[in-house]
Chains A and B, each alone.
Chain A
């Protein structure tokens, strides 16, 4: 079992939809979780990070952590075609130093 699991998709939604992207993790020593966005043939870029249970909002994006279920989510409101990309969850765990463990990424397409 991978330390961080993510459904690879692809996920296709109409413009304006609310998108839910999810990851599960197996290591209880959770420190931080991050969401990265990666456009085709580009490097990932950091969208959001959080370290506590609950929700964190930034514009149209909300990151949610449920430590009891070992479940993290990223919600995108009012999705736009420009949101079409691969979304990667990444986590750090106590004892892992600064090493980020990534999920496989979910490919999202927002259609007009």
Chain B
């Protein structure tokens, strides 16, 4: 498709289980971001990948969170030993290098809604 694709769209899991969330960015976009959106909290930055550079992991809330980006394209966000406070919508966005990346022209997917029981 033409847009950012995320899967699964909904995930319900039990506390303590691991989850993987996947993001397929727009073809040709070299920058990829993960954000978390909780009710009333706005979008919280998690991690940023740019080409082959080391990712900016400064927003990851704990060492239970990790992310990979393989081949400069698909990204997976992994949450280990999930907690109830991890319940949120996890949004992925991509951005072109030659575009207005510095101006924040991020193209978002529809998100993965995670519920931890």
Is B42 in contact with A32, judged by CB distance below 8 angstroms?
no
Is B93 in contact with A43, judged by CB distance below 8 angstroms?
yes
Give A37-79 as 1s and 0s: 1 = Cβ < 8 Å from B's Cβ atoms: 0000111111001010000000000000000000000000000
Cα distance A32–B43 when bound, in Å?
17
Which chain B residue has the least Cβ–Cβ distance from A50?
B103
Question: Chain B contacts of A45 at CB under 8 A?
Answer: 108
What would 12 A/B residue contacts be, using CB atoms closer than 8 Å?
A: A8-B40, A43-B109, A43-B110, A46-B105, A46-B107, A49-B100, A49-B105, A51-B103, A88-B43, A98-B95, A98-B101, A102-B43
Is A104 in contact with B109, judged by CB distance below 8 angstroms?
no
B91 at the interface (CB under 8 A from A): yes
Scoring A8, A43, A99, A104 by chain B CB atoms within 10 A of each residue's CB, the highest score goes to A43
B14 at the interface (CB under 8 A from A): no
Partner of B104, one of A6, A8, A90, A105: A90
Given A43-B108, A88-B42, verify A99-B102 contact (CB < 8 Å).
no
Is B105 in contact with A98, judged by CB distance below 8 angstroms?
no
Q: Count of A residues near B, CB < 8 Å?
A: 25
Is A46 in contact with B104, judged by CB distance below 8 angstroms?
yes
B60 at the interface (CB under 8 A from A): no
Q: Count of B residues near A, CB < 8 Å?
A: 30
Is A100 in contact with B102, judged by CB distance below 8 angstroms?
no
Cα distance A112–B100 when bound, in Å?
36
Cα distance A102–B43 when bound, in Å?
6
B75-117 at interface with A (beta carbon < 8 Å): 91, 93, 95, 100-111
Given A98-B50, A98-B95, A99-B48, verify A44-B103 contact (CB < 8 Å).
no
Question: Chain A contacts of B42 at CB under 8 A?
Answer: 6, 88, 102-105
Question: Chain B contacts of A46 at CB under 8 A?
Answer: 104-107
Cα distance A90–B45 when bound, in Å?
11
B56 at the interface (CB under 8 A from A): yes
A108 at the interface (CB under 8 A from B): no
Is B104 in contact with A104, judged by CB distance below 8 angstroms?
no
Is A104 in contact with B110, judged by CB distance below 8 angstroms?
no
Is B106 in contact with A99, judged by CB distance below 8 angstroms?
no
